[in-house]
Amino acid sequence: MTSSATAVWDIFELALDGPSEGNPFLEVELAAVFSQGSRTVRVPGFYDGEGRYIVRFMPDAEGEWRYETSSSAQALSGKTGSVSATAPRAGVHGPVRVANQFHFAHADGTPFLSFGTTCYAWTHQPLSEQEKTLSTLAKARFNKLRMGVFPKDYPYNVNEPLHDVYQRKADGSFDFDRPNPESFRHFENQVKALGDMGIQADIIMLHPYDRWGYSGMSEAQDYRYFAYLVARLGAYHNVWWSLANEYDFLLNTKPMEQWDRFFSIIQENDPYDHLRSIHNGDPEANYDHTKPWVTHSCIQNWDVKRTGEWRAAYGKPVVNDEPEYEGNIIQVWGNISAQELVHRFWITTMRGGYAGHGETFSHPEDLIWWAKGGELRGEAWKRIGFLRQVMEEDAKNGFEPIDPKTRYPWNRVSGARDGDTTIIYFGEHQPVIWASGLPKEDGDYQVDLIDTWNMTIEPAKVVPAPANHPTRHGAVVAPTRPDSAFAVELPGRPYLAIRVRGAR
């Protein structure tokens, strides 16, 4: 029996030597049960090649955890030991969970407001490009990254990957019964690098943009792939499972029951219960996110004023990972202006959802952030970082839309509240005075004007609330009480927001 120490939400890795003959990926089963008091956690192990087997455990509570392995191979079975879990390292808050129905928080309760971006195939680019991606992420303020396990074959994505994801046979063809551990080790190192920066890795497990055959594996191979990936990566605290990008473009070969089964396989092999979602291609082809194994709705839709509809339809957090990308390429999903993408982020956020960023600027060497990472060339990312800062300053339970049914005027402008903070985003609207949604009682409020593009926050000019004119719609006489205790004077230009903080 061996003993070691690790911090809560870090990884304890148990490496064991075992059989290497035959195909251990297929033939050897390994798991360990970790226990603390009456709690037991069953953790699957995986084969790492060259006779090496690994079980990775992420403790979620301090104190001693004892373990014992079980395996179909005698050499790997009955190994026992203990791990002493110490307090989490500073800045480590644990896996992200759903909190307050429509929002997220880390395991320690710290709110997590998703401000993601997308670099689908960044781990398959030359290492110098991957370094650039990490440097860029270090200066940007994104806290989630959509990234695929498999390389990408698509317009602007024609280069070969750094590593084969599966091993090759003597004839050069792939052996989809033998994952390439080198590829997975590299991928998980980059997941860890993101974790160290506080960035969630939204791992896309399958996608249709393929010329290698990865999207055409057999059903049994797919299931083994899911189990292998989850066994390898589940212990990383910053993992989210995204079953696919544009899963609906794969429905001709992988029917809906198979997607449902993928979810089960993840659940069976992930003792940490990381977030699980699935991303659509066609806006009309959303997976049924009400299914109980889906933790949050992943949406691809440009029509962000509909965020409330998706909240209502699925009753779960809405992450709109593709409200179109900032860029200028020929594809229409990849050529909106920076202003428009920032606008869509604000609208989504103020309607109780979370948006995702991507950047698709035409480049002579096809170095495009959305797929390859590297450098950001646009203007939206800074403003999205500013939005994140604004939201994190006041988020407690999650900003909820002022009127979740989005009735007038909230079907036109967007506003949200969390605790005693209200933020109203006007977008294309440019009133010179505003009152709706402001507090109805007098109080010692702090009222600020936010310029979402120029990224400034300054005290707003508070003026007396205009008394309602007694409009007469037939026999209906509106009350003469003002909408609010005060109004805010505004400069009459678009893309502004106001923030009202409660008496303090």
List interacting residues with its own copies (CB under 8 A). Answer: 153-155, 158, 208-211, 215-216, 246, 249-250, 252-254, 282-283, 302-303, 305, 324, 328-333, 335-337, 339-340, 362, 408-409, 411-413, 426, 428-436, 466, 469, 471-476, 487, 492-494
Closest to its own copies by CB, 270 vs 322, is 322
Mapping DSSP to helix (H, G, I), strand (E, B) and coil, where does residue 84 land?
Answer: strand
> C-beta of 303: minimal distance to its own copies in Å?
7
> C-beta of 332: minimal distance to its own copies in Å?
4
| Beta pairing class for 144-148 and 166-168 | unpaired
CA–CA–CA angle 319, 322, 327 (5° rounding)? 145
CB-count burial class (<10 Å; 0-12, 13-18, 19+) for 434: buried
Taking the C-alpha atoms of residue 232 and residue 220, their distance in angstroms, rounded to an integer, is 18
CA–CA–CA angle 264, 269, 271 (5° rounding)? 110
In contact, 324 and 302? CB cutoff 8 Å: yes
Closest to its own copies by CB, 59 vs 334, is 334
> C-beta of 426: minimal distance to its own copies in Å?
8
Closest to its own copies by CB, 474 vs 479, is 474
> C-beta of 432: minimal distance to its own copies in Å?
4
Closest to its own copies by CB, 4 vs 454, is 454
> C-beta of 43: minimal distance to its own copies in Å?
33
In contact, 43 and 8? CB cutoff 8 Å: no
> C-beta of 398: minimal distance to its own copies in Å?
25
Distances in whole angstroms, Cα of residue 69 to Cα of each of 3, 5, 20, 73, 272: 14, 18, 18, 11, 18
Closest to its own copies by CB, 97 vs 261, is 261
Q: Which amino acid is at 313?
A: A
> C-beta of 413: minimal distance to its own copies in Å?
6
H or E stretch covering 117: strand 116-118
Closest to its own copies by CB, 51 vs 439, is 439
In contact, 364 and 377? CB cutoff 8 Å: no
Closest to its own copies by CB, 74 vs 252, is 252
End-to-end CA distance of the chain: 57
> C-beta of 323: minimal distance to its own copies in Å?
11
Taking the C-alpha atoms of residue 452 and residue 481, their distance in angstroms, rounded to an integer, is 32
Residue with tokens 């979602």: 277
Taking the C-alpha atoms of residue 114 and residue 402, their distance in angstroms, rounded to an integer, is 20
Closest CA to 392 of 136, 196, 198, 241: 198
Closest CA to 115 of 425, 410, 346: 346
| Beta pairing class for 103-106 and 111-112 | antiparallel
> C-beta of 464: minimal distance to its own copies in Å?
13
Closest to its own copies by CB, 256 vs 433, is 433
Closest to its own copies by CB, 241 vs 495, is 495
